[in-house]
Amino acid sequence: MAEAQNIPVGSTTAGSIAVAAESTVATRMSAPPSFDVADFPVPHGREEEWRFTPLERLRGLHDGTAVATGNGVKVDVQAPEGVTVEAVGRDDARLGKAGTPVDRIAAQAYSAFEKASVVTVPKETVLTEPIRIAVHGEGGTAFGHQVIELGAFAEAVVVIDHTGDAVLAANVDYLLGDGAKLTVVSVQDWDEKAVHVAQHNALVGRDASFKSVVVTFGGDVVRLHPRVQYAGPGGEAELFGLYFTDRGQHQEHRLLVDHNVPHCKSNVVYKGALQGDAAHAVWIGDVLIEAKAEGTDTYEMNRNLVLTDGARVDSVPNLEIETGEIVGAGHASATGRFDDEQLFYLMARGIPEHEARRLVVRGFFAELVQQIGLPDIEERLIAKIEEELEAAVA
Amino acid sequence: MATLEIRDLHVTVEADNATKEILKGVDLTVKQGETHAIMGPNGSGKSTLAYSLAGHPKYTITGGTVTLDGEDVLEMSVDERARAGLFLAMQYPVEVPGVSVSNFLRTSATAIRGEAPKLRTWVKEVKEAMERLNMDPAFAERNVNEGFSGGEKKRHEILQLELLKPKVAILDETDSGLDVDALRVVSEGVNRVRETGEVGTLLITHYTRILRYIKPDHVHVFSAGRIVESGGAELADKLENEGYEAYTKGGASA
């Protein structure tokens, strides 16, 4: 069900629908998931999960040479009343429950963090204000672990903001109780030298809804690994992503939705714009429908808009289906250049070039932004997109 | 009185690694209030003329001049030409995903008029113009040309013509692909603009059908990259009866 593809020079778009007895999604990783960094060999760059990533720019996160410094990141959690915020030790039972590190850097983060932050929304608590987590880089290196747990039928919005300069490897766990509703907005608005590698693990309870909005603008290298599994039937996951990759930036989003129980839904939409020399965006969208996951309904889409020459996109949707008893499964990926005919049409109506470009890019993101459903976040994103475009024009 | 003057215009296009001359010396003067029909067979260069005047980057001007009230049009960028008063209604208007018709129209009107139209009068102005073209108000909330039928695209072009009030309007095969009802609605829109007496119209068409609704003052036959005959409305009747054969024989590649 791959759509017609419009592919500029210097990009790849590959898709596959596999019907397999053995999961290639799992087996193409170099090592099985583990909490121990020693279980993963140091990557050399040709492994399937590392082949797009510039290892030399990871500042040693991948080979054990990165060491935590005192001035890593400052984390500030602002939570409404009724929410518990704790700093806990490595032995806390809630850590690692949502998922296990799948690559060496996630395992490195798990092996190296000292204190984890656990934010808990008790059962049946419905928050009217978001929980805000500010992660500010202070120039050093840090390993982090964050847990956000919602009890049964709790509802919350969490906004995680990453700013400043840091080398950060982290795991973020989202635990959703039965019938819980969690929206998480993770904004990567780093300074230009920052390196950020993280695995996001969501464990979606029975009849629970998880919505993830990943927004990546800044940093030198950002490599995120949002993953979803279900703890019971009736769960829903929406994974939205928006990135704006500028000159020299590497922004990589590797998603996995593991339909491991019956009657769950997932919908993945990631959109990115790229501009400038050596801007590189990577999108890997893995969806696995296990044999027991009857009644699954899933769709994933990635769209890229290449605004200038010299940018590169690698977009790889991968849908693996082990049962035919499903409601629906589809994927689409398309990468297009900025359309000169659109520009001509708008300019022929008197609209100056920079304004015409802005209209087209805003239009490209508009549909996705509208799906977020949080007006203040939507406004902020639109403002940020405008800012990126202004920077490009200047 | 606004005047568009085209003198000895030569235009080339790059195709298959070769440079091909499409326009081979076009001379034409269009004055405000006049309607000129340019008729010719496929491949004669009619659309190239339209897009060259609007400034499409695909075409290279290799000779000649184009002026609007003495100003050098060829020196202007695409948007400057539009703001100077040139309008091109396109044969194949492109989709602009995520940009609503209302946003597009207002952005365009703001650029052309030099200031944002007052919201209240603007809403009324658009609503009335849409009603005259039998367009559903919901149309304004759709994305520009996305999923539009052929007739809707052409109505949308004429809606812009009515709102932007250019000095010179170039209509590139606005009649193609329209059924009789849509053709009538679109022609009525063009006539409303013509009746103001403030626009010079360059009507580019392959067929004589639209000339039953829009009466030209001048008819020009276009063949092999230039105007080969000019006359009054009666020339269109001759073409209706005899076709283009008389002009395409003798080496012109149509």
Three-class secondary structure assignment of A31-57? CCCCCCHHHCCCCCCCCCCCCCCCHHH
Using left for φ > 0, alpha for ψ between -120 and 50, and beta otherwise, residue A11 falls in beta
Binning pLDDT at 50, 70 and 90, where does residue A206 land?
very high
CA–CA min distance B76, chain A (Å) = 12
| pLDDT tier, A7 (very low <50, low <70, confident <90, very high otherwise) | very low
User: For an interface test with A, which of B51, B56, B81, B94 has the most A Cβ atoms less than 10 Å from its Cβ?
Assistant: B94
Q: In this predicted structure, what is the pLDDT of residue A1? A: 33
State the pLDDT at residue A392: 64
Of A28, A181, A186, A40, nearest in space to A100 by CA? A40
Mean pLDDT of chain B: 94
The alpha helices in chain A, defined as continuous H runs, are 24-27, 104-112, 340-347, 353-372, 375-393
Q: What is the mean pLDDT of residues B164-180?
A: 94
Nearest CA in chain B to A344: B56
Average pLDDT over residues B166-171: 98
Helix H or strand E segment including A269: strand A265-274
Kindly report the length of chain B: 254
CA distance readout (Å), A252 to A255, A382, B8: 10, 21, 55
SS3 B83: helix
Nearest CB neighbour to A364, from listed B87, B98, B112: B98
ipTM of this predicted complex? 0.95
Question: Do residue A351 and residue B99 have CB atoms under 8 angstroms apart?
Answer: no
- Amino acid B68: pLDDT: 97
Nearest CB among B90, B99, B108 relative to A350 is that of: B108
Q: How confident is the model at residue A340 (pLDDT cuts 50, 70, 90)?
A: confident
Low-confidence winner among A213-222, A378-387, B3-12 (lowest mean pLDDT): A378-387
Q: What is the rounded average pLDDT for all residues in chain A? A: 91
For B192-197, the CB contacts below 8 A with 24+ separation are: B192/B132, B192/B162, B193/B161, B193/B162, B193/B165, B193/B169, B194/B35, B196/B165, B197/B32, B197/B33
pLDDT tens by residue, A224-279:
999 999 999 999 999 999 999 999 999 999 999 999 999 999 999 999 999 999 99
Of A347, A362, A363, the CB nearest to B79: A347
Closest Cα of chain B to A383: distance in Å?
A: 16
> In a mutagenesis test of the A interface, which of B105, B107, B115, B145 is the best target, namely the one with the most A β-carbons within 10 Å?
B107
Q: Print burial letters for A17-32: b (CB count within 10 Å at least 16), e (below 16).
A: eeeeeeeebeeeebee
Please report the pLDDT score of residue A14 as a whole number: 52
Confidence at A23, pLDDT banded by 50, 70, 90: low
E strands along chain B, which residues?
3-15, 18-31, 35-39, 59-68, 71-72, 86-89, 96-100, 143-144, 168-172, 200-205, 218-223, 226-231
pLDDT of A381 reads 87
Stretch B219-234: mean pLDDT: 95
Query: Touching check for A385 and chain B: CB below 8 Å?
Result: no
CA nearest to A335, candidates A298, A307, A371: A307
- B104 contacts on A by Cβ (under 8 Å): 346, 349, 359
Give the closest of A339, A347, A349 to B160, CB-based.
A349
- C-alpha separations of A126 from A179, A180, A361 in Å: 12, 9, 36
Of the partner residues A340, A353, A359, the one whose CB lies closest to the CB of residue B99: A359
Q: How far is the first Cα of chain A from the last one, in angstroms, to the nearest whole number?
A: 40
To the nearest 10°, report the CA torsion of B212, B218, B223, B224. -140
- Please name every residue paired with A145 in a beta bridge, in sequence order, or none if there are none: A171
pLDDT at A164 exceeding the cut of 80: yes
Q: What's the distance, CA A203 to chain centroid? A: 15
What are the chain B neighbours of A346 within 8 Å (beta carbons)?
96, 104, 108
CB B36 within 8 A of CB B220: yes
**∠ CA A56-A57-A63 to the nearest 5 degrees?**
55
pLDDT of residue B249: 67
| pLDDT reported for residue B220 | 97
Q: What DSSP character marks residue B138?
A: G
What residue ranges in A47-205 does DSSP mark as E strands?
73-78, 84-88, 116-121, 131-150, 155-176, 181-188, 195-204
Query: Which residues does B58 contact at the CB level (< 8 Å), separation at least 6?
Result: B13, B14, B51
A345–B94: do the CB atoms touch at under 8 Å? yes
- Amino acid B251: pLDDT: 46
Q: Do B111 and A366 touch (CB under 8 A)?
A: no
* Separation of alpha carbons B179 and A81, rounded Å: 65
How high is the pLDDT of residue A13? 52
Q: CA-to-CA distance for A184 and A214, rounded, in angstroms? A: 8
pLDDT at B42: 87
Cβ-based neighbours of B243, under 8 Å, separated by 6 or more: none
pLDDT tens digit string along A178-204? 999 999 999 999 999 999 999 999 999
Mind listing the pLDDT tens digit for each residue in A97-118? 999 999 999 999 999 999 999 9
Query: Per the CB < 8 Å rule, is A364 touching B55?
Result: no
Residue A393: pLDDT band by 50, 70, 90 thresholds?
A: low
Dihedral over alpha carbons A350, A352, A358, A363 (to 10 degrees)? 10
Residue B253, pLDDT above cutoff 80 = no
Q: Which among A236, A209, A200 is positioned nearest to A99, based on CA atoms? A: A200
Q: Tokens representing A44?
A: 């050399």
Q: Write out the two tokens for A138.
A: 């202070």
- Model confidence pLDDT, tens digit, residues B96-143: 988 999 999 999 999 999 999 999 999 999 999 999 999 999 999 999
How far is Cα A227 from Cα A213, in angstroms, rounded to an integer? 13
Residue A9 has pLDDT above 50, yes or no: no
Q: How far apart are CA A258 and CA A180, in angstroms?
A: 19
**pLDDT, mean of residues A359-385:** 86
- Give the pLDDT band of residue A29 (cuts 50, 70, 90): confident
